[in-house]
């Protein structure tokens, strides 16, 4: 016979025990936050050995939490790209507001279900409210809507699946989509996972500022139609990952209208610059897109795991996703209530809304706007400095991509070197810039040219660190042979 005496209660922490645990973790967290400015911006030393040291068989017995945290913070964390460091200007950073981590702690402890509105009405509404705020930021009408994903890749994927479901028959294999040759690879991956043959993604050339050539795009669509093919969607960019280029979104929207195509805008990097006037000018027309991918873990500085898909008309998401099962509770008809399981691929999932809602409620949107404006200014400052280096050196520092938002791409040119030699020169330069670990910059390839990017969108990066970055660049240029 089963009895209460035999049950194992070790998993059930009392409130007091939970506090002990959080306090233990908090000691490390506080030290971590306070030492961020001194921490390395990256470290990959001994990566493989360290990673292998983590492998172990399923433990039968537990270990002391204090020891676990000690090892985690002391050893595991030290060998990483430090995406929370103010010197991290690689890829597309965001920083990770720790305020959001408090939201995650709460969300995890209460463990409420937000996939279905009736299960936690006010909590689901918190998430819907966040979506409404995002719709307002990009200029979507009241019919707009969306849901939070774990990142931009899944937002792009869901956007393309929605476009496919709304614009193509069940037999959709002939559908063609168009994007620029600057698309993030997640666009190609999204198309692939949405079921399209890879050849159905047509990459169109860009102009000197890395914006899609709308004239060439129109020609390609016409040529494909003439061959009896089925164009159905365009993926535009509000900030490419390589250079932050913003396509002529109004022109893309005109073309999409004319051709009856779905317009999806990948705004994973650039979208939240819509909070700034400069961003609004640049991204004019984004509000005409049928769907938009955003990444709050970039432009709103949230921790990783925060993406978003918005649609101009929520009915499209319903049309693409609505299914239900006999075991499900009733769904909502009220236009201002949303059952997330009805408009997105997931059913059970974490309570994502709280992570965004809490920091915005606490601070209001102004600090976010101010930080984004500051990053635009910092990038411009960095470009001026890069240019001025040319007065100090024999080689030439070429700005390969002027910043449209907060990314600049540059490289060192040296007379007499061919392209492979220039690549090696700039690989060496980048290695020397990063060597002191005060900053971390990553490269990309533009028209076959190896370039070094500075991407400033992490909230902790301010002028002092940018000055250090320029100093590292100057010193490194002095040392490359
Ligand atoms: C970061 C990024 C993505 C991918 O987003 P994840 O959140 O990393 O999945 C897609 N497009 C652009 C332009 C990006 O900058």
pLDDT bracket for residue 132 (50, 70, 90)? very high
What DSSP element (H or E) covers 363? Answer: helix 353-363
176-189 pLDDT, tens digit each: 999 999 999 999 99
pLDDT at 204 exceeding the cut of 90: yes
Domains of the chain by residue range = 10-39+44-79, 112-362, 368-477
**Test site for ligand 1: of 83, 149, 211, 241, most ligand atoms within 8 A of the Cβ:** 241
Q: State the DSSP code for 329.
A: P
Closest ligand 1 atom number to CA of residue 307: 7
Cβ-proximal residues to 204 (8 Å cutoff; 6+ apart), any chain: 178, 179, 180, 181, 212, 213, 216, 217, 220
Closest Cα to residue 322, out of 340, 339, 343, 337?
Answer: 343
Q: Note whether 87 and 440 are within 8 A (CB).
A: yes
Of all residues in the chain, the percent with pLDDT exceeding 70 is 100
Q: Where are the alpha helices (DSSP H) in 229-349?
A: 249-259, 277-282, 296-299, 314-321, 340-343
254-268 pLDDT, tens digit each: 999 999 999 999 999
Closest Cα to residue 406, out of 436, 383, 375, 428?
Answer: 375
How is the beta sheet containing 449-455 ordered, strand by strand?
396-401, 407-413, 449-455, 442-446
Q: Note whether 200 and 177 are within 8 A (CB).
A: yes
Q: Note whether 179 and 234 are within 8 A (CB).
A: yes
Q: Note whether 367 and 383 are within 8 A (CB).
A: no
Closest ligand 1 atom number to CA of residue 154: 9
Using CA atoms, how far residue 174 sits from 187, 195, 196, 314, 316, in Å, is 18, 11, 8, 26, 21
Closest Cα to residue 137, out of 321, 308, 22, 338?
Answer: 308
Q: Note whether 411 and 59 are within 8 A (CB).
A: no
* 3-class secondary structure, 417: coil
212 DSSP β-pair partners: 206
- Output the CATH code of domain 112-362: 3.40.640.10
pLDDT at 335 exceeding the cut of 90: no
Closest ligand 1 atom number to CA of residue 184: 11
* Nearest-angstrom CA–CA distance, 138 and 133: 9
pLDDT at 1 exceeding the cut of 80: no
Q: Note whether 177 and 204 are within 8 A (CB).
A: no
Other Cβ atoms closer than 10 A to 209: 12
Largest alpha-carbon pair distance within the chain?
87
pLDDT at 441 exceeding the cut of 90: yes
pLDDT at 451 exceeding the cut of 80: yes
pLDDT bracket for residue 455 (50, 70, 90)? very high
338-351 pLDDT, tens digit each: 999 999 999 999 99
pLDDT at 328 exceeding the cut of 80: yes
Which residues does ligand 1 sit against, CB inside 6 Å? 92, 151-153, 184, 186, 240-241, 266, 268-269, 295, 307
150 CA distance to ligand 1 centroid (A)?
Answer: 11
pLDDT at 203 exceeding the cut of 80: yes
258 CA distance to ligand 1 centroid (A)?
Answer: 28
Q: What local confidence, expressed as pLDDT, does residue 147 receive?
A: 98
38 CA distance to ligand 1 centroid (A)?
Answer: 28
* Nearest-angstrom CA–CA distance, 236 and 265: 5
Q: Note whether 92 and 269 are within 8 A (CB).
A: yes
pTM value > 0.85: yes
Structure token pair of residue 202: 């047509």
268 CA distance to ligand 1 centroid (A)?
Answer: 5
**Average confidence score pLDDT of the chain:** 97
Domain 368-477 has CATH 2.60.40.10: no
Other Cβ atoms closer than 10 A to 89: 29
Closest Cα to residue 358, out of 296, 311, 268, 280?
Answer: 296
Q: Note whether 88 and 41 are within 8 A (CB).
A: yes
Q: What local confidence, expressed as pLDDT, does residue 256 receive?
A: 98
Cβ-proximal residues to 476 (8 Å cutoff; 6+ apart), any chain: 429, 430, 432, 433, 435
Which protein residue has the closest C-alpha to ligand 1 atom 5? 152
Of all residues in the chain, the percent with pLDDT exceeding 90 is 97
**Test site for ligand 1: of 184, 242, 407, most ligand atoms within 8 A of the Cβ:** 184
**Test site for ligand 1: of 93, 186, 404, most ligand atoms within 8 A of the Cβ:** 186
**Test site for ligand 1: of 148, 269, 270, 301, most ligand atoms within 8 A of the Cβ:** 269
Closest ligand 1 atom number to CA of residue 151: 7
Q: Note whether 217 and 230 are within 8 A (CB).
A: no
67 CA distance to ligand 1 centroid (A)?
Answer: 36
Q: State the DSSP code for 73.
A: I
pLDDT at 2 exceeding the cut of 90: no
Structure token pair of residue 220: 């390609």
Structure token pair of residue 475: 């010193």
Q: What local confidence, expressed as pLDDT, does residue 308 receive?
A: 98
**Test site for ligand 1: of 210, 266, 300, most ligand atoms within 8 A of the Cβ:** 266
Closest ligand 1 atom number to CA of residue 267: 13
65-117 pLDDT, tens digit each: 999 999 999 999 999 999 999 999 999 999 999 999 999 999 999 999 999 99
How is the beta sheet containing 145-149 ordered, strand by strand?
145-149, 307-311, 291-294, 262-267, 230-237, 175-180, 201-204
Question: Quick one: 198 exposed, middle or buried, by C-beta within 10 A (0-12, 13-18, 19+)?
Answer: exposed
pLDDT at 322 exceeding the cut of 90: no
Cβ-proximal residues to 207 (8 Å cutoff; 6+ apart), any chain: 213
Q: What local confidence, expressed as pLDDT, does residue 115 receive?
A: 95
30-59 pLDDT, tens digit each: 999 999 999 999 999 999 999 999 999 999
Q: Note whether 94 and 299 are within 8 A (CB).
A: yes
Q: What local confidence, expressed as pLDDT, does residue 3 receive?
A: 82
3-state helix, strand, coil in the chain (%, to 5): 45, 15, 40
Closest ligand 1 atom number to CA of residue 152: 5
């Amino acid at each position: 016979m089963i009895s209460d005496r035999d049950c194992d209660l070790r998993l059930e922490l009392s409130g007091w025990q939970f506090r002990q645990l959080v306090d233990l973790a908090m000691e490390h967290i506080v030290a971590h936050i306070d030492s961020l400015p001194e921490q390395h911006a990256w470290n990959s030393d001994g990566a493989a050995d360290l990673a292998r040291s983590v492998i172990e068989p399923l433990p039968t017995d537990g270990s002391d939490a204090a020891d676990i945290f000690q090892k985690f913070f002391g050893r595991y964390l030290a060998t990483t790209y430090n995406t929370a460091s103010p010197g991290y200007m690689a890829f597309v950073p965001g920083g990770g507001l720790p305020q959001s981590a408090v939201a995650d702690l709460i969300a995890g402890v209460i463990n409420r279900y937000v996939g279905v509105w009736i299960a936690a009405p006010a909590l689901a509404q918190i998430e819907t409210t966040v979506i409404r705020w995002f719709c307002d930021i990009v200029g979507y009408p009241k019919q707009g809507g969306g849901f939070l994903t774990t990142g931009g890749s899944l937002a792009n994927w869901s956007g393309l699946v929605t476009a496919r479901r709304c614009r193509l028959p069940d037999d959709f294999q002939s559908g063609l989509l168009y994007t620029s040759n600057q698309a993030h690879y997640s666009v190609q991956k999204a198309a692939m996972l949405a079921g399209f043959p890879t050849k159905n993604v047509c990459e169109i050339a860009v102009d000197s500022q890395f914006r899609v050539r709308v004239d060439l795009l129109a020609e390609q669509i016409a040529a494909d139609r003439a061959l009896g093919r089925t164009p159905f969607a365009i993926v535009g960019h509000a900030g490419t990952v390589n250079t932050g280029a913003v396509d002529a979104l109004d022109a893309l929207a005109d073309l999409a209208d004319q051709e009856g195509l779905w317009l999806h805008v990948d705004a994973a990097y650039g979208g939240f610059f819509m909070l700034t006037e400069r961003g609004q000018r640049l991204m004019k027309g984004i509000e005409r897109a049928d769907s938009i991918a955003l990444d709050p873990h970039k432009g709103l500085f949230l921790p990783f795991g925060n993406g978003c898909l918005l649609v101009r008309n929520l009915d499209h998401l319903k049309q693409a996703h609505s299914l239900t099962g006999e075991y499900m509770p009733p769904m909502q008809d009220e236009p201002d209530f949303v059952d997330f399981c009805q408009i997105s691929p997931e059913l059970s999932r974490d309570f994502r809304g709280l992570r965004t809602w809490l920091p915005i409620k606490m601070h209001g949107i102004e600090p976010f706007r101010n930080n984004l404006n500051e990053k635009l200014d910092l990038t411009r400052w960095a470009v001026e400095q890069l240019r001025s280096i040319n007065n100090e050196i024999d080689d030439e520092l070429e700005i390969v991509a002027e910043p449209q938002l907060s990314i600049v791409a540059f490289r060192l040119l040296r007379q007499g070197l061919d392209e492979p030699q220039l690549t090696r020169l700039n690989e060496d330069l980048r290695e020397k810039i990063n060597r002191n670990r005060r900053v971390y910059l990553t490269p990309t390839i533009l028209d076959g040219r190896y370039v070094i990017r500075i991407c400033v969108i992490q909230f902790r990066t301010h002028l002092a660190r940018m000055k250090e970055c320029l100093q590292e660049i100057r010193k490194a240029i002095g040392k490359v042979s």
